[in-house]
Structure 1
Amino acid sequence: MHPVQNDAVETPTLGLRERKKLARREALIDATHRLVAEHGLDAVTVEAICEEAGVSTRTFFNYFETKDDAVLGHTPWPVDSPAAETFASGGPTGHLLADLQVFVNSLLTAAPIGRERLAVGLELAAREPRLLARHMAWMEQHRGQLCVLVDRRLGEASPYSAEMVGATLLFLTHATFLRWDAAGGTGDASEQVGAVVADLRSILSD
């Protein structure tokens, strides 16, 4: 595995302070990836990561709760993204299941840390089962935000249960992440969510 360089998502609207914060977060993620790839998760300490990245431990904890979060590149999830607004407003196709698939794809691929760092995190997570559990728990923390979007999408007159649609959204996100992780983060997440939906249809029609 090669260290990831210059993989930031272009953010021309960010101010200097925000760009510096993004660069520091990426440096911590890259340092964590290098050390974990070389020594294994359990052998790497937060102190070692900070020394590698040239920052203090206090700085590390301004960005991540644990080293596991740094491996996974956990950043504020883009639940308030343009894709989320499109979904809540009834798009992009007007068909609920198809739009759920598009939204799940956006949640998994619009990572501020960039596609390559995300792929490295997935590769490392495949070796460490506890990282998968951590990622699932992290996504679960966003249930409330997702439920607000689902409520907006469905409105009061919808024949669907907001609770059921929200649970479906979380399931698709979880299952797609696991499938994408098993594939080493290769390919497009939209391919994986499509395969998850196909499997689900097959199970329900059996």
Structure 2
Amino acid sequence: MTDSATSDGLRERKRRATRTAITSAARALTSEKGLNGYTVEEVCEAAGISRRTFFNYFPAKEDAIIGHAEDDVPAEVIDEFVAGGADSPAGDISPTLFSDLVRLSLRLAEDMTASEEETRQLIAVVKKEPQLILRIIGVTEQREAQFARDVARREGVTPDHPVVQMAVVLLSTIARKSSMAYFSDGNTRSYRDLLLENITAASLLFSQPFDIPATAAEGRP
């Protein structure tokens, strides 16, 4: 690894640590005082940063509470996933796409489990300030659009390719369903087990043969 690459890696880790500190402070203050009960300056004091630094990372308190998309899916994880399709001709859906999507999901599940307390904190904050839900929906749509671009880049197709779109819809839905079950009251199962169970169920369903029903016009003599 070159000195430049090492420097870039250290710089990104520092930026990620700063983003995490800001988000943690914003969530803690929201949980304690409510969204309108504190100022950006209080977030800065809790995170040990300047006001200027805060706005270099987030445009508003609401954004700080939700967190940064890059911290959800590390760039090196996405790069590894994209590289998995290198041996497949551009424009052809690679034969390992599904298995690599599963592997990616499990890798991200490890990160989710590691940051479980932060996720629980966010859930508590949203319950306290439900108006954040619309912002979360918007951010989720942005992240899904980026995921579509990543899958498309791996496969050498456009983001609106039907397989790419279906991959994003299915994986996003499965992840949400698994998360809801994992964070539900009384759950004793691991997120990984719940995720694998739902992926297996989807795989079984879509592996079944089916006949395309004839349309009314096609059925006429």
Q: Normalising by the residue count of structure 2, what TM-score does the alignment of the two structures yield?
A: 0.60
> Per-residue deviation at 1:68?
2.9
CA deviations on 1:130-184 (whole Å, 9 max, x unpaired) are 545433422432455434443354457xxxx962222223223432443344223
CA RMSD, aligned part only?
4.1
Which residue pairs with 1:9 in the alignment? none
Give the 3 Å change call, closer, same or farther, for CA 96–54 of structure 1 in structure 2: closer
In structure 1, which of residues 146, 168, 171 is the aligned counterpart of residue 169 of structure 2? 171
Quote how far apart the aligned CAs of 1:116 are.
4.5
8 Å CA contact 1:79–1:145 kept in 2: the answer is no
Residues 1:89 and 1:43: Cα distance change in structure 2 (over 3 Å)? farther
Contact 2:25 2:47 in 1 (8 A): yes
Pair 1:74-2:68 in alignment: yes
Scaled by the length of structure 1, what TM-score is found? Answer: 0.63
Correspondence 1:151-166 to 2 at 5 A: 151-155=152-156, 163-166=161-164
Look at both structures and tell me which one has the larger radius of gyration over its CA atoms.
2
Contact 1:104 1:172 in 2 (8 A): no
Q: CA deviation at 1:27?
A: 1.9
Question: How many residue pairs align between the two structures?
Answer: 188
**8 Å CA contact retained: 2:148, 2:164:** yes
Supply the distance in 1 between the matched residues of 2:28 and 2:136 (Cα, whole angstroms).
20
Q: CA 1:31 to 1:96, structure 2 compared with 1: closer, same or farther past 3 Å?
A: same
Q: Tell me if 1:26 matches 2:23.
A: no
Please give the residue correspondences for 1:9-20 in structure 2 after superposition, counting only pairs within 5 Å: 17-20=11-14
The equivalences for 1:133-144 within 5 A come to: 133-142=134-143
- Which amino acid counterpart does residue 183 of structure 2 have in structure 1? G
Summarize the alignment of residues 64-143 of structure 1 with structure 2, pairs less than 5 Å apart.
64-76=58-70, 77-78=73-74, 81-89=78-86, 94-107=95-108, 109-110=110-111, 115-116=115-116, 118-124=118-124, 127=127, 128-142=129-143
Code of the residue aligned with 1:83 in structure 2: it is: E
8 Å Cα contact 2:84-2:100 kept in structure 1: yes
In 2, Cα distance between equivalents of 1:172 and 1:117: 26
Question: Would you say the 8 A contact 2:178–2:198 is kept in 1?
Answer: no
**Which secondary structure state, in structure 2, belongs to the residue aligned with residue 88 of structure 1?**
coil
1:38 corresponds to 2:32: yes
CA contact (8 A) 2:144 2:168 kept: yes
The change in CA–CA distance for 1:42 and 1:102 in structure 2 (over 3 A counts) is farther
**Post-superposition shift, 1:120?**
3.9
> What CA deviation, in whole Å up to 9, does each residue of 1:72-105 have, x standing for no partner?
32242435634322443379x9443332222234
Letter in 1 for 2:16: L
Q: CA deviation at 1:62?
A: 1.0
- Amino acid of the residue matched to residue 124 of structure 2? L
Q: Name the stretch that deviates more: 75-84 or 24-33.
A: 75-84
Deviation at 1:48, TM superposition (A): 2.8
TM superposition shift of 1:56: 3.0
Indicate the percent of aligned positions where both proteins have the same amino acid. 29
1:13 Cα deviation from its structure 2 partner: 6.5
